[in-house]
Amino acid sequence: MNEIVNLNQARKTRTRDDKRVAADANAAKFGRTKAERIAQAARSDKARKMLDQHMLDEE
């Protein structure tokens, strides 16, 4: 004989697994590594400082 399965529990497990697979795919597609985030932050800080240095004073 086969094992008795709670259909609600099986449905929830299947849905949870599907969402996990989709989340992993999105993380691989859109995610950035910590090094990439730090490098981007450094570039934006450098650009902001450079623009601030070239700003004219209104005196």
Over residues 5-57, the pLDDT tens digits come to 999 999 999 999 999 999 999 998 999 989 999 999 999 999 999 999 998 88
Task: Please tell me the predicted confidence (pLDDT) of residue 59.
Answer: 66
Task: Tell if the pTM clears 0.95, that is, is over it.
Answer: no
The pLDDT of residue 57 is 81
DSSP string, 5-56: --HHHHHHHHHHHHHHHHHHHHHHHH---HHHHHHHHHHHHHHHHHHHHTPP
Please report the pLDDT score of residue 1 as a whole number.
78
Question: CA–CA distance from 32 to each of 23, 28, 57 (Å)?
Answer: 14, 8, 38
| Tokens at 56, concatenated | 């004219």
* Whole-number pLDDT of residue 58: 76
